[in-house]
Every structure is written in structure tokens, then in C-alpha cells.
Amino acid sequence: MQLVTTKPGIIVAENDREIAETSRQEIQSIIGSFPECYVELGSGSGMHLIRLADRSPQALCIGLEIRFKRAFKTGEKAEGKSLENVRVLRTDARQIRHLFTPGQVSAFFINYPDPWDKRRWRKNRLINAELIQTMWELLKPGGFFRYQTDHQEYFASTCPLLNPAQWDIQRHTTDLLQSPYMESNIPTEFEMLFKSQGKPLCLVEAVKRN
Ligand SMILES: C[S@@+](CC[C@H](N)C(=O)[O-])C[C@H]1O[C@@H](n2cnc3c(N)ncnc32)[C@H](O)[C@@H]1O
């Protein structure tokens, strides 16, 4: 396991399958220095993560991205803006259980995950019942999960997985661009693309019940 460092402190873990103990320890050693911890799964080239970090200096903002180049670009952007509250791991986001302890995370973000359109590919989708349960366990009470997508079917099949006994749905729209939520929206690279194609965008925000 090799760590590629864009600058001391912003780490890009060179391993796409599992989270190494060194990365886990590094994250755990700084997480307590911030009142909040925000985690983005599949953070791409980092447009959302970087703006989120810029807007939320109180939060440690961690991006998990499986593609090295995108993870590295995110590190470079953080470095360019001298952001001290960004960490990027090049790893499989489904490994979050090995990175965080229960109740440690304030918010999870999943923006425009790969849709794996064909029925036989659906097992590859990032979001499933198991991931939602894991996020619920890792969130602190009152913490939230925010999911955005252009894919209506992926959205429609994900929302019922948010058990009302565990989650309080605070935001839900299948037309984000026309919704009041746009006011506080942080765009992503893929959102800009889908917007330019005139696609309707969906958003759900679910808060962990106490
Ligand atoms: C469609 S792109 C969206 C990127 C970004 N969230 C955005 O909205 O611009 C999906 C991203 O998720 C990443 N990804 C897919 N599966 C992943 C996984 N299991 N773990 C981490 N990243 C993953 C892809 O490499 C890609 O960068």
C-alpha cells in the first residue's frame, strides 16, 4: 500500500480494493480535530467536495473515489485552494465500514453515481440496502444522507430503501432545478453535464432519526 501525497495532509491512497490500516489510522488521527465529518462517495474530480469544504471550514471533508486520476485531481484542487479540511482516498467507497466508527459521520453525499443501467448490471450499483444500513450506523443521530441523480429508475428504487423508522425524509424532489433546494445546491461535474442536456435531476435528503 503506497500513499501518494499531493501535499502533506491530503492523501490519495493508492489502492482501489480495500482501506489500508495506515489510511484508517491517518483519518482517525485527524477526525477528532473537526466538529463535523462529511463524506462523499464517488467524489469524481472533486468539484462538489472542494466547494463543500470551502463552505464548511468546521467539517473534515473526505472524498472516496475509485479512479486514481479523479482522486488525484481532487487533491490538487484542495492544494490549489489551500484547504486544510480535505482528504481524498482512492479506494472503493463500499469500504466505509472499515474507515469510520459508528456515529462518527455528520453527512454522507452520493452525487450522480454510475447508473449500471442494464438489469444484469444492477448488482454493481453503489447504493443498495446494505450500504444504506452501513451509512445509517456510521452517521451520528441527526446526521444526514443526501443523494442526487439524473437516473429516475435508480432514484425510484433507492428511496423505498430508506426505512421511515430509521430515516426522516427532509428533502425530496424529482425536479431539483425548479425546486427551492437549488438555492443551497453545490453543483458537481456530472450535474453540469446533465443540466446542459436538459435532464430532470432528483434529490433526496434523509436524516437519521434519534
Ligand atoms: C458518474 S461519476 C459522478 C462523479 C461526481 N460525483 C459528480 O457528480 O460529478 C461516478 C463516480 O463514482 C466513482 N465510483 C464508482 N464506483 C465507485 C466505488 N465503488 N467507490 C468509489 N468511487 C466509485 C467513479 O469512478 C466516478 O468518478
Closest CA to 92 of 61, 71, 123: 71
| Whether residue 127 has its Cβ less than 6 Å from ligand 1 | no
**pLDDT attached to residue 21:** 82
**pLDDT attached to residue 2:** 39
Please name the residue ranges forming H helices in the chain: 21-31, 47-55, 68-80, 129-138, 152-158, 189-196
Instruction: Report all structural domains of the chain as residue ranges with CATH numbers, in order of start.
Output: 2-208 (3.40.50.150)
pLDDT surpassing 70 at residue 156: yes
Q: Mapping DSSP to helix (H, G, I), strand (E, B) and coil, where does residue 11 land?
A: strand
Q: 151 C-alpha to center of ligand 1: Å?
A: 14
Which pTM does this prediction carry?
Answer: 0.95
- The answer to whether residues 126 and 113 touch, using CB atoms and an 8 Å cutoff, is yes
Q: 31 C-alpha to center of ligand 1: Å?
A: 23
Q: How far is CA 97 from CA 94, 101, 141, in A?
A: 8, 7, 17
Q: Whole-angstrom Cα distance, residue 137 to residue 115?
A: 25
Region of 98 on the Ramachandran plot (φ > 0 left; ψ -120 to 50 alpha; else beta): alpha
Q: 90 C-alpha to center of ligand 1: Å?
A: 11
Nearest CA to ligand 1 atom 23: 42
- Phi and psi at 124, nearest 5°, equal -85, -5
Beta-carbon count within 10 A of 57 CB: 12
pLDDT surpassing 70 at residue 4: no
Q: Whole-angstrom Cα distance, residue 102 to residue 140?
A: 7
| Whether residue 95 has its Cβ less than 6 Å from ligand 1 | no
Q: 65 C-alpha to center of ligand 1: Å?
A: 6
Nearest CA to ligand 1 atom 15: 42
Average pLDDT over residues 79-102: 93
pLDDT digit string, tens, across residues 38-66: 999 999 999 999 999 999 999 999 999 99
Beta strand residue intervals within 112-185, DSSP E = 139-149, 167-173
Nearest CA to ligand 1 atom 12: 42
| Whether residue 168 has its Cβ less than 6 Å from ligand 1 | no
* 150 noted as active-site residue: no
- Catalytic residue, from 16, 54, 114, 168: name it: 114
Q: What is the overall mean pLDDT for the chain? A: 92
Q: Mapping DSSP to helix (H, G, I), strand (E, B) and coil, where does residue 47 land?
A: helix
